[in-house]
Amino acid sequence: MNPCVELVTSPRNLGFKEMASFTGLSASQTQILCRCSPPISFTASISSPLHFKKQAPVRRLLVVPLKCSSPGPSQETESEAETMSAPSSSVSLASSNSTYNWRAGIGAVGLLETAYLTYLKLSGSDAFCPLGGGSCGDVLNSDYALVFGVPLPLLGLIAYGFVTTLSLQLTRKNLPLGISETDGRLLLLGSTTSMAAASAYFLYILSTQFAGTSCSYCLISALLSFSLFFISLKDVGLQEVQKVVGLQVCIASLVVATLSTSYSNLPSAPSSTGNINLPYFTTEITTDSSPFAIPLARHLHSVGAKMYGAFWCSHCQEQKQMFGREAAKLLDYVECFPEGYKTGTKMIKACADANLEGFPTWVINGQVLSGEMELEKLAEVSGFEFSG
């Protein structure tokens, strides 16, 4: 038996209980403290008038420390949890930043592509088409390249710019208007959902209205949009996606409905190389020639400048309207499809030898100019000086 416990509980050791009471400790507290810590000895005198008439013999008492503690299991668990969670948080943060960087990089590629196409659309020039030749330009210059009169590349420029900017801000943890990181991810998911839905719709238009036509810019844009959508889907996570899946479906449906409404009254694209048979036709020039246009046309003819075009090409007709009725008759215009167009029809040899990238194309003094040109630009390239 522990001597400390025996000292407290035995009737023979009543003096120790009295000492415990004197020091402010109960017997039970003294017993517990004795069990917790090793005893410390000291000597004291106790006199009891109730039992002794003279000085009581000296007794050795035990006084224990008033504090007894040891590190608990909860503290060790918390410390271990903090140590284990630190690397996990670092990995999660690095993964998120990597996702944001990928999304910003893909968005930047789309931004460059749509910026180039927007410039061409606003300037009236034709795009360089490494695949598909003139048919690529026909798709980009068709009525399907406008949404309620707004150039489609301009809308793509805004969308890619938004995704790129927001991704970079998420990487820096610097979101505007107090937007949280979770809300930023959901905004990106909504934006990329609309872009993917629009790309899917345009692929449908390309396969039905432009059957057999190759449009490299359309395919690249679709690839970028779908990549951004799947990255955003993975970044948000399955649980969060399930909460907003209804909203995502509404966004996609709204995009498709808007595009369908915009294109509801458009005829089938004449540039489609599918099952079409388009007879040759001419378009009347209704404008009058300016005093500058007539001598310019004569000069272009004198230096051997040629304009290559197709009878269905709207930009070719607009170029002729710039010169006017009188001046347009003086131009050396080469029609690439003089017999009309139907499935399998190829350009005449003169156009094929010129390696045309689109319509119209000017060849002046060995210099090739693609797209609709201002008269002043043609005068500059050909060396024409107006003296009138």
* Contact (CB, 8 A) for 187 and 241: no
CA angle 132, 136, 142 (to 5 degrees): 155
Quote the pLDDT of residue 246: 87
Going by pLDDT thresholds of 50, 70 and 90, the confidence category of residue 343 is low
Mean pLDDT of 67-71: 45
- Higher model confidence: residue 288 or residue 241? 288
Q: For the chain, how many helices (H) and strands (E)?
A: 13, 10
Pairing, β 361-364 against β 306-309: antiparallel
Mean pLDDT score of the chain, rounded to an integer?
Answer: 76
> CA 175 to CA 182: how far, in whole Å?
11
Question: Burial level of 116, CB count in 10 A (0-12/13-18/19+)?
Answer: middle
CA distances for 70 relative to 37, 64, 67, angstroms: 11, 16, 10
Quote the pLDDT of residue 297: 95
> CA 301 to CA 323: how far, in whole Å?
13
pLDDT tens digits for range 133-185: 455 677 777 888 889 889 999 999 999 999 999 888 888 877 777 788 888 88
CA distances for 303 relative to 43, 294, 331, 373, 386, angstroms: 128, 15, 11, 17, 15
- Name the token pair of 59: 């007794």
- Name the token pair of 182: 């979770």
Going by pLDDT thresholds of 50, 70 and 90, the confidence category of residue 96 is low
pLDDT(369) > 60: yes
pLDDT(46) > 50: no
Mean pLDDT of 318-331: 95
pLDDT(85) > 90: no
Quote the pLDDT of residue 173: 79
pLDDT(16) > 60: no
> CA 359 to CA 313: how far, in whole Å?
7
**Amino acid identity, position 29:** Q
* Tokens 């995009």, residue located: 255
pLDDT tens digits for range 186-201: 888 999 999 999 999 9
pLDDT(58) > 60: no
CA distances for 352 relative to 231, 304, 313, 336, angstroms: 43, 18, 17, 8
pLDDT(381) > 80: yes
Going by pLDDT thresholds of 50, 70 and 90, the confidence category of residue 13 is very low
Residues, the chain? 388
> CA 308 to CA 361: how far, in whole Å?
5
**Amino acid identity, position 304:** G
> CA 384 to CA 299: how far, in whole Å?
7
pLDDT(92) > 80: no
pLDDT(361) > 90: yes
- Higher model confidence: residue 103 or residue 5? 103
Q: Which of 107-111, 133-137, 198-202, 247-251 has the lowest mean pLDDT?
A: 133-137
* Tokens 């400390």, residue located: 4
Quote the pLDDT of residue 266: 66
Mean pLDDT of 337-355: 84
Quote the pLDDT of residue 200: 94
Quote the pLDDT of residue 341: 83
Quote the pLDDT of residue 40: 45
Quote the pLDDT of residue 94: 52
Mean pLDDT of 325-337: 95
pLDDT tens digits for range 216-244: 888 999 999 999 999 988 888 777 778 88
pLDDT(32) > 80: no
Q: Which of 57-61, 93-97, 315-319 has the highest mean pLDDT?
A: 315-319
Residue from 168, 166, 165 nearest 186 by CA: 166
Domains of the chain: 95-264 (1.20.1440.130), 292-382 (3.40.30.10)
> CA 270 to CA 310: how far, in whole Å?
11
